[in-house]
Homo-oligomer: A and B are copies of this chain.
Amino acid sequence: MATKSKTFILEGQAAWEQTGEGVRRQIMGYSEQLMLVKVEFQQGSVGAMHEHPHAQASYVASGKFEVQIGEAKQTLACGDGFFVEPNVPHGVRCLEAGVLVDTFTPVRRDFLKA
């Protein structure tokens, strides 16, 4: 079966998945080679350091975050972005509640329900 999302993905219709304390995500679109995920953070919540073989490009849609990629740390706010090469450890700490748009290539199969 083809791995692909609908063409239009409405916030009011997409499922939310709680992924940690004060953190939840909505999968907003994907096919085999590309996935876009909305991740909503409450102030003080954390996306713990982790790594994966997928390349990741992210955008701060709202809020403020301390982002660590490898050894580098940077505070990013609405309108900023960051890029994570495959297998590089990265994580975020939410300084002000907001939304990250995380995109991956290839698709994060681990995010898809069986």
Binding site for B on A (CB under 8 A): 4-11, 28-31, 33-36, 38, 55-59, 61, 67, 69-70, 72, 74, 76, 79-85, 101, 103-105
Chain B residues near A69 (CB-CB < 8 A): 7-8
Closest 4 CB pairs of A and B: A28-B81, A29-B83, A11-B79, A36-B57
Out of B11, B58, B79, which one reaches A80, CB within 8 Å? Answer: B11
Out of B11, B31, B36, B81, which one reaches A29, CB within 8 Å? Answer: B81
Chain B residues near A74 (CB-CB < 8 A): 7-8
Which residue of the partner chain B has the closest CB to A54?
Answer: B34
Q: How far is the CA of A57 from the CA of B5 in the complex (A)?
A: 10
Contact B105 A33 (CB under 8 A): yes
Contact B10 A34 (CB under 8 A): no
Q: How far is the CA of A34 from the CA of B38 in the complex (A)?
A: 17
Which residue of the partner chain B has the closest CB to A9?
Answer: B81
Contact A31 B55 (CB under 8 A): yes
On whether A28 and B57 interact (CB within 8 A), knowing A79-B11, A81-B36, A105-B105, the answer reads: yes
